[in-house]
Amino acid sequence: MSAGSAAEGAAARRLSRGASGLRHLRWAREVLATLEAHVEHNPALDGAEREALRGEARALAGAVQALSGAVKPYRDFLERTRVRYRGRVRVAEHLVREADAGHADEGARARLEEALTELAGMEATQRRPLKAALSAEIDRLREAMARMDARLEERHSAAFVESLYPPLTDGASRVADDGDPDDDAAASPR
């Protein structure tokens, strides 16, 4: 494979940078599992190759763990804290609509402004730092995987490196997983 086609192959197996942290975590875990499966089940590998792949798996496992450590607090925040604020805004918006329809609630607009102000404050003080930490870990993971690919391509074929990566859905936004209809990635590969 030429350098140009090797680069095209790498781009084709890359998850979109815009994909969520949770989707990056799934993608990286799929790659790690395939790397480990090569170590355990690929009879074409000699002892030195197998040991080198074990080292790559350990390094990737560390990056996966670091990303997991950033995904969990961000997801917990979104699914617990942020939804409470958003619920409060929806109630305040409802009360404003009711007041506009002639139902008595003179304080509805003030409550809506207060809820929106608190939501904006929460975004600045809680969400942005969590999102920044997650974004940094996504970048570190992607960089670690690019370095891993480069090291592996020195010793193995491009096809071997490509074998590590799962198929992605259209737009490279998530891992394709038709085998699990409950998975949000249940979609056909691109």
Stretch (H or E) spanning 52: helix 47-76
Report the pLDDT value the prediction gives residue 10, as an integer from 0 to 100. 57
pLDDT means over runs of 10, the chain (190 residues): 51 86 97 98 96 98 98 96 93 88 81 91 95 98 97 95 93 86 55
Report the pLDDT value the prediction gives residue 1, as an integer from 0 to 100. 42
Report the pLDDT value the prediction gives residue 85, as an integer from 0 to 100. 93
Can you tell me the distance from the alpha carbon of 119 to that of 2, in angstroms, rounded to the nearest whole number? Answer: 52
Residue boundaries of the structural domains of the chain:
3-172
The contacts of residue 27 (CB under 8 Å, 6+ apart) are 15, 19, 166, 168, 174, 175
Report the pLDDT value the prediction gives residue 190, as an integer from 0 to 100. 47
Can you tell me the distance from the alpha carbon of 36 to that of 25, in angstroms, rounded to the nearest whole number? Answer: 16
Report the pLDDT value the prediction gives residue 161, as an integer from 0 to 100. 96
Cβ atoms 144, 134 nearer than 8 A: no
Q: What is the dihedral of CA 59, 61, 62, 64, to 10 degrees?
A: 130
pTM listed for this prediction: 0.83
